Amino acid sequence: MPTFEIKDKDLAARIGKLSVNGKTIETPAFFPVVNPFKKGHERIIQKIKEIGFEQVITNSFIIKQRLGDRIPPGGVHGIVGFDNVVMTDSGAYQLLIYGGGRIRIDPMEIVEYQKRLGSDIAVIADIPTKDTAPYEEALMSVEETIKRAEFTDKLIEGDERVWVLPIQGGVYYDLVRRSAEAAWKFRNYSMYAIGSPVTVMEKYEMWKVAEMVATAKTILPLDKPVHLFGGGHPMIIPIMVALGIDSFDSASYILYAREGRYMTEHGTYRIEDLDYLPCECEVCSRYTPRELMEMPRDEREYLLAVHNLHVIMREIKRVKTAIREGRLWELVEERARTHPAMRESLNVIIKYRRFIEKLDPRFRGDAHGIFLYDATSYYRPELMRHRRYLKRVTARTARGRLVLVPGSPQEKPFSESRVFASVRRLLGIGEDDTVMFYLPFYELVPLGTDYAYPYMQFEMPVNPPKEVVVRLVKRLNAAIRRWGGAVVVTCSEYGWSSREFLERALRVDGVRFVEVCAQGHM
């Protein structure tokens, strides 16, 4: 039977091993769409292997149209010319594009056909939800897909391949939720897929896809992989993986190439608009844009497709590295700045931050320092857990003096900084005193915890954004009010800890200011 083993995690993302029919692929994984009947297929499938893709997807409906009931030796692997994992779609994409008037797919027949083809991963004949569909039509697509999933569940019982159950509903998130909830009752599906995002992504409405994914992921079982149909641009991969997507498929690499479009991690260019190729793959290191433009069309399309595949593979590897290092949030923030649509998608991650924080591992064997950039970094799982811990600490009975000391972003641990050494010398710290370090993003860090991860392992701007400083001030006011006063140590080296700023910002009684960064104190 198929197995899915999770090896590493970060946010809602995971590196996993999906094993089926004696073959294994590592997720996150990208499945290039291949059409074995297209001119030049043999050349492109060979390059897909060379670049390192261990999986492809093809269309069982198209194969059936071309070959009928005749299945050659080797089944779908022989037809495609690929020995490792081959996934077959049922033809639902053609149904989405051309409609039911032109495309007829018998759901039982296509299931049996995929069995005969010998697919490693197979998809049932669902009814896709168009993003332009009225609510009633979208509801019908969900109900019909659930109905088909129910009778297909009996047909695939005991089958050794991975069967995929698509989640429909499109941009109607209540229907996505309904579809995901219904998926729980079926026993024989080893994988789920988010259906119908292609037309939404073509409009660059990536945040709608992110909302679809997040809605489904909060409901679907966590022990099974989730696929995103049509996730073909590298710029979306980090954000969708952060939300819990394990695999993608698309023909974008070749479709873009036919239109002369050149992929990068942050967008797409037309080859005629480029003076330089910002990549070092085997194509870009050998040719110039002008040379590509002067080639015969078939050769230019092939070479652009090869480049596009390299960019997708590079982004998959970059995401896996970020997961291993616990830096996926930083990669997501970086990608969110490449396009306004991606920034909107990051807002979806922030919206679902509590769900993501529950899945994010608290301990890592190989912990790396975290980078804090701006207001979006405030919602990192590590900081959410810190604020929950802080709430418990500050809820205890206030006693003794509250001493608030600026935590230097450049001197860690804070308790060994020059600032704290001056505090000890000037104030003396008694056993009954409560000492907390204050700084943006973390807000308050109790003395004694500043040696723990991630209080020593972080980098942040010396002058952080206003929104983060405002949150710090709010936390300081609340703590001082609870203690009934405080000694606030100021340091003019940082704007957020200067006496001039804090005298205006702290609007509570009982504050005594002590400057330690003045000449002669440090």
Cis preceding linkage at 413, omega within 30 = yes
pLDDT of residue 393: 80
- Whether the per-residue pLDDT at 172 is higher than 90: the answer is yes
pLDDT band at 520 (very low <50, low <70, confident <90, very high): very low
Same domain, 425 and 451: yes
pLDDT of residue 94: 64
Residues carrying an active site annotation: 89
Same domain, 396 and 342: no
Q: What is the pLDDT of residues 79-89, one digit of tens each?
A: 999 999 999 99
pLDDT of residue 93: 65
Same domain, 112 and 15: yes
Is 522 among the domain residues? no
CATH of the domain at 183: 3.20.20.105
Is 163 among the domain residues? yes
Q: What is the pLDDT of residues 186-244, one digit of tens each?
A: 999 999 999 877 778 878 889 999 999 999 999 999 999 999 998 888 999 999 999 99
pLDDT of residue 365: 56
Residue 6 in 3-state DSSP?
strand
pLDDT of residue 104: 66
Radius of gyration of the chain (CA): 28
Same domain, 104 and 223: yes
Host domain of residue 175: 3-359
pLDDT band at 362 (very low <50, low <70, confident <90, very high): confident
522 or 277: which carries more pLDDT confidence? 277
CATH of the domain at 434: 3.40.50
Residue at which a domain ends, from 301, 327, 359: 359
CA distance 118 to 161: 8
CA distance 406 to 127: 58
Is 309 among the domain residues? yes
Same domain, 353 and 415: no
Same domain, 374 and 326: no
Owner of token pair 């300081």: 476
Is 365 among the domain residues? no
> Mean pLDDT, to the nearest integer, of 264-272?
93
Q: How far is CA 169 from the centre of its chain?
A: 21
Same domain, 320 and 379: no
> Mean pLDDT, to the nearest integer, of 14-24?
95
CA distance 207 to 197: 11
pLDDT of residue 202: 79
Task: Compute, in degrees rounded to 10, the torsion defined by CA atoms 75, 80, 86, 90.
Answer: -80
Same domain, 400 and 292: no
Q: What is the pLDDT of residues 284-294, one digit of tens each?
A: 999 999 999 99
**In whole numbers, what is the pLDDT of the chain averaged over residues?**
91
pLDDT of residue 366: 63
Counted residue by residue, the chain has a size of 522
Q: What is the pLDDT of residues 468-493, one digit of tens each?
A: 999 999 999 999 998 999 999 999 88
pLDDT of residue 188: 93
Residue at which a domain ends, from 339, 359, 379: 359
Q: What is the pLDDT of residues 455-471, one digit of tens each?
A: 988 999 988 999 999 99
pLDDT band at 256 (very low <50, low <70, confident <90, very high): very high
Spatial contact of 491 and 409, defined as CB atoms under 8 Å apart: no
User: How would you label 217-239 residue by residue, b for 16+ Cβ within 10 Å and e otherwise?
Assistant: bbbbeeebbbbbbbbbbbbbbbb
Is 32 among the domain residues? yes
pLDDT of residue 231: 87
Task: Compute, in degrees rounded to 10, the torsion defined by CA atoms 179, 185, 190, 195.
Answer: -10
- Whether the per-residue pLDDT at 96 is higher than 60: the answer is no
pTM, rounded to two decimals: 0.91
- Whether the per-residue pLDDT at 101 is higher than 60: the answer is no
> Residues of the chain with pLDDT > 90: what percent?
74
Is 520 among the domain residues? no
Domains contained in the chain, number: 2
Strand partners, 269: 262
- Whether the per-residue pLDDT at 447 is higher than 60: the answer is yes
- Please give the DSSP secondary-structure letter assigned to residue 122: E
> Mean pLDDT, to the nearest integer, of 105-116?
88
Residue 86 in 3-state DSSP?
strand
Q: What is the pLDDT of residues 412-442, one digit of tens each?
A: 999 999 999 999 888 888 888 899 999 999 9
Is 323 among the domain residues? yes
Same domain, 331 and 392: no
Same domain, 341 and 462: no
Q: Name the strand (E) or helix (H) holding 26.
A: strand 23-27
Residue at which a domain ends, from 314, 330, 359: 359
Strand partners, 6: 16
> Mean pLDDT, to the nearest integer, of 126-133?
87
350 or 518: which carries more pLDDT confidence? 350
Same domain, 307 and 336: yes
Same domain, 337 and 374: no
Is 364 among the domain residues? no
CA distance 111 to 89: 10
CB within 8 A of 384, min separation 6: which ones?
353, 354, 357
